Structure 1
Amino acid sequence: MIPYARQSIDEDDIRAVADVLRSDWLTTGPVVPAFEEAVARFAGAAHGVAVSSGTAALHAMCHVLGVGPGDEVLVPAITFAATANAVLYCGAAPVFVDVDPDTLLMDPADLARKATPRAKAAIAVDYAGQPCDYDALAAVCRPRGITLLADACHALGGADKGRPVGTLAAMTALSFHPVKHIATGEGGMALTGDAETAKRLTRFRSHGIDADARERERLGSWHYAMVELGCNYRLSDINCALGLSQLAKLPAFLARRREIAAFYDAAFAAVPGVAPLAVRPGVSHAYHLYVVRLAADVDRGAVFNALRAAGVGTNVHYIPVHLHPYYRERLGTGPGLCPAAEAAYERILSLPMFPGLTDAQAAQVVDALAEAVKSRHG
């Protein structure tokens, strides 16, 4: 079975992790800040704060912004549930914004329609690895006093008009889950250009305590003070060692993802009933996912099953968050709230996309999908 995604681990990665296992520090040691600085530098941000997941990064960003009860945070309907869940963790209410039907990125016009005086923030999601139109989103947010945040968990290495992901919003969340651009096992990071914000993010990830174990060791002091209620969202030196090793290979990973996407684009231009998502002008796409839309008369369920039977792993990203049972029951959301997202969900498929995918495997994916679509019209 060709998986839809997988990590790429080599002997350098294994040695990097083994070196930490032989060291004095397994967590909150010197590799954590080294990884933070390297990722921030790659992304063009002044500061990076490593945390235990992309979800933790989103929660931390909402927390330091002061999101709380009575606030609303605007999120796109097409995203992983974590984007909206982070808002609930802070006691605020997510408001679901529809997406552009061609890109599945947050629709600035619907953002403007749904922004109320209670809106404190908007979280733009760089779906599949394509940066949102942050200029258009900022034009909605800025005059309303809404802080624009970036969920770039799909998009490390992407850019818009030459500006790298990590510099496009007030704070940016990254993920280092194994299917993402670089892997730390589990892990994430919050990027910011502001030193005080970075300090607060760092404090929040460690129970709201003002000094971690390594800092106390450096100062020769036992004393610490918990100054706010935080979480245990620390990322270990073990994870960060793997991340540092992976980061060195990120340019090659990105180049291969784009090469595969270009092959798919060219191949599917000749396959009726299959259409890749649109790419915005001026965007450098990071291609965490490669998503296609099937024609309305194609039975997606049958195609999904046919691909699996042909040895091609595929997936659907995502069920619109407002259609999940938890959100329906808690917030009273349901069909009709975000029509473009709901229509897109019925037709999308994610195809295999990872640096280790061979040319022969990519061709197998194209042939299998072409055959499945040809023979399985609804």
Structure 2
Amino acid sequence: MNKPIIPYGRQHIDQIDIDTVINTLTADFLTQGPKVSEFEEKFAKYVGSKYAVAVSNATAGLHIAVMALGLKPGERVITTPITFAASANCVRYCGGEVWFADIDPNTYTLSLESTQKLIESKPKGFFKGIIPVDFAGLPVDLEQFRTLANEHDLWIIEDACHAPGGYFTDSKGQKQHCGNGAYANIGIFSFHPVKHIACGEGGMVTTNDEALYNKLSKLRTHGITKDNMSENHGGWYYEMQELGYNYRLTDIQSALGITQLEKNDVGVVRRNEIAENYKEAFNGKIKFQSLPKGTYNAHHLFVIEVENRKALYDYLREEGIFAQIHYIPIHTLPYYKKIGYENADLKNAEQYYSRCISLPMYPSLTDKEQEYVIDKVLNFIK
């Protein structure tokens, strides 16, 4: 009997998505048209932010975010070692220095205590900002990070690439949705195919700050603006006011993003159903990510920790289950080791990496497929 092929994540494209893209392909604009601004407006409303800027991918979004916040060469930013490299690389793009604080061993997100200890070990002004990551879809309590940041005059970029639809509850009892800008200066989202909202590639930058919004909008379009039109200039006139990049999203991708966004709430509910099935099966047998009270995990991933992780990885692949590892700690990657991070003291991150494995997690995963995955994992640990 042929074994099933079950990836750790995948996009779900239906006929509505296809028809919407086809309609855009036959319309007047393939890029820089009305679908981009429509997507931005709908996304901003969805997360609860005032502004949204669509970009070619989340890495581009991170890059222009640190640029918009004025990061200069040699300035220092703190982030987590357990994330995709782009969360740190954006600082390096601007010539900044990345400093890693350790993770919480239960939530796998950036540890507030570790971050505070690192900040307070240096004189005030030593650091410029913090980039917490809503890892696996679990929102960071940004209210606590905001309090810390305010004490030390730091900005915050929320890397929410895993977490559209997730939220935490603040001290006032209010649900704070990822990327809404209540506590972070800027939020970043990804539209890679394995993420919640699939555009092929793409990203979104959110903020409540009008000045930052204007800056971000220029930086994603070569640093060019047409805002300074006057009667002395024709309709062709524009100004390149600073060095920006071509980080634009197309109308084709935006059209797909709009229909994908409309389905995200349903998708997140299904992701949580899948997570609860895993938790029920593994409770007391296998460690998995904890869920702080008042927090709603958007579940991009479902991560477990096991002994003999490599053996489980290989065994699952033999059984048609293509689990994945998220992530190799950034400070252990050759580039970062080469520039001085080889001896970083990040024990929780390294312990987590030695044991972590991400199981299949996507809305179209069937109950039967999940039962198969659970059976194979439990069979292995026996």
Do they fold alike, i.e. is TM over 0.5?
yes
* Residue identity opposite 1:74 in structure 2: I
Q: In the alignment, what sits opposite 2:201?
A: 186
From 348, 357, 360, give the equivalent of 2:365.
Answer: 357
- Tell me, yes or no, if the aligned pair for 1:55 and 1:82 is still in contact at 8 Å: yes
Q: In the alignment, what sits opposite 2:151?
A: 143
Shift of 1:336: 4.6
Following the alignment from structure 1 to structure 2, what is the Cα–Cα distance between the partners of residues 24 and 336? Answer: 53
Q: State yes or no: 1:241 paired with 2:249.
A: no
Shift of 1:47: 0.4
Shift of 1:68: 1.3
Shift of 1:226: 0.5
Q: State yes or no: 1:286 paired with 2:277.
A: no
The percentage of counterpart residues that share the same residue type is 41
- Tell me, yes or no, if the aligned pair for 1:39 and 1:247 is still in contact at 8 Å: yes
Following the alignment from structure 1 to structure 2, what is the Cα–Cα distance between the partners of residues 109 and 277? Answer: 18
Following the alignment from structure 2 to structure 1, what is the Cα–Cα distance between the partners of residues 256 and 226? Answer: 25
Following the alignment from structure 1 to structure 2, what is the Cα–Cα distance between the partners of residues 336 and 124? Answer: 18
Q: State yes or no: 1:34 paired with 2:66.
A: no
Question: Secondary structure of the equivalent of 1:132?
Answer: coil
Q: In the alignment, what sits opposite 1:101?
A: 105
Gaps of 5+ in 2: 170-174
* Residue identity opposite 1:345 in structure 2: Y
Q: In the alignment, what sits opposite 1:124?
A: 132
Following the alignment from structure 2 to structure 1, what is the Cα–Cα distance between the partners of residues 276 and 358? Answer: 15
Q: State yes or no: 1:275 paired with 2:287.
A: yes
Q: In the alignment, what sits opposite 1:316?
A: 325
Following the alignment from structure 1 to structure 2, what is the Cα–Cα distance between the partners of residues 336 and 236? Answer: 41
Question: Secondary structure of the equivalent of 2:240?
Answer: coil
Following the alignment from structure 2 to structure 1, what is the Cα–Cα distance between the partners of residues 332 and 257? Answer: 34
Query: 1:46-77: CA deviations, max 9, x gaps?
Result: 00000011111111110000011121010111
Shift of 1:139: 2.2
Q: In the alignment, what sits opposite 2:314?
A: 305
Q: CA RMSD in A?
A: 1.5
Question: Secondary structure of the equivalent of 1:112?
Answer: helix
Following the alignment from structure 1 to structure 2, what is the Cα–Cα distance between the partners of residues 280 and 58? Answer: 27
Following the alignment from structure 2 to structure 1, what is the Cα–Cα distance between the partners of residues 335 and 36? Answer: 35
Following the alignment from structure 2 to structure 1, what is the Cα–Cα distance between the partners of residues 361 and 239? Answer: 46
Shift of 1:41: 0.3
- Tell me, yes or no, if the aligned pair for 1:27 and 1:235 is still in contact at 8 Å: yes
Q: In the alignment, what sits opposite 1:170?
A: 185
Shift of 1:311: 1.1
Shift of 1:44: 0.4
Following the alignment from structure 2 to structure 1, what is the Cα–Cα distance between the partners of residues 189 and 369? Answer: 28
Query: 1:16-48: CA deviations, max 9, x gaps?
Result: 111111011110100000000001100000000
- Tell me, yes or no, if the aligned pair for 1:73 and 1:120 is still in contact at 8 Å: yes
Following the alignment from structure 2 to structure 1, what is the Cα–Cα distance between the partners of residues 143 and 266? Answer: 29
Following the alignment from structure 1 to structure 2, what is the Cα–Cα distance between the partners of residues 43 and 155? Answer: 10
* Residue identity opposite 1:175 in structure 2: S
Following the alignment from structure 1 to structure 2, what is the Cα–Cα distance between the partners of residues 279 and 9? Answer: 30
* Residue identity opposite 1:339 in structure 2: K
Following the alignment from structure 1 to structure 2, what is the Cα–Cα distance between the partners of residues 51 and 220? Answer: 28
Question: Secondary structure of the equivalent of 2:311?
Answer: helix
Q: In the alignment, what sits opposite 2:22?
A: 18
Question: Secondary structure of the equivalent of 2:224?
Answer: coil
Shift of 1:313: 1.2
Gaps of 5+ in 1: none
Question: Secondary structure of the equivalent of 1:231?
Answer: coil
* Cα distance change of structure 1 residues 55 and 29 upon mapping to structure 2, 3 Å threshold: same
From 233, 257, 268, give the equivalent of 2:271.
Answer: 257
From 8, 14, 18, give the equivalent of 2:12.
Answer: 8
Aligned residues: 364
Shift of 1:157: 0.4
* Residue identity opposite 2:150 in structure 1: R
Shift of 1:118: 2.2
- Tell me, yes or no, if the aligned pair for 2:331 and 2:344 is still in contact at 8 Å: no
Following the alignment from structure 2 to structure 1, what is the Cα–Cα distance between the partners of residues 219 and 226? Answer: 11
Shift of 1:136: 2.0
TM-score (normalised: structure 1): 0.94
Query: 1:137-171: CA deviations, max 9, x gaps?
Result: 22221110011110000000001111111124111
Q: State yes or no: 1:344 paired with 2:352.
A: yes
Following the alignment from structure 2 to structure 1, what is the Cα–Cα distance between the partners of residues 129 and 147? Answer: 13
Following the alignment from structure 1 to structure 2, what is the Cα–Cα distance between the partners of residues 339 and 187? Answer: 34
Query: 1:212-258: CA deviations, max 9, x gaps?
Result: 9xx99xx9711111100001100000000000011111111111101
Q: In the alignment, what sits opposite 1:326?
A: 335
- Tell me, yes or no, if the aligned pair for 1:83 and 1:123 is still in contact at 8 Å: yes
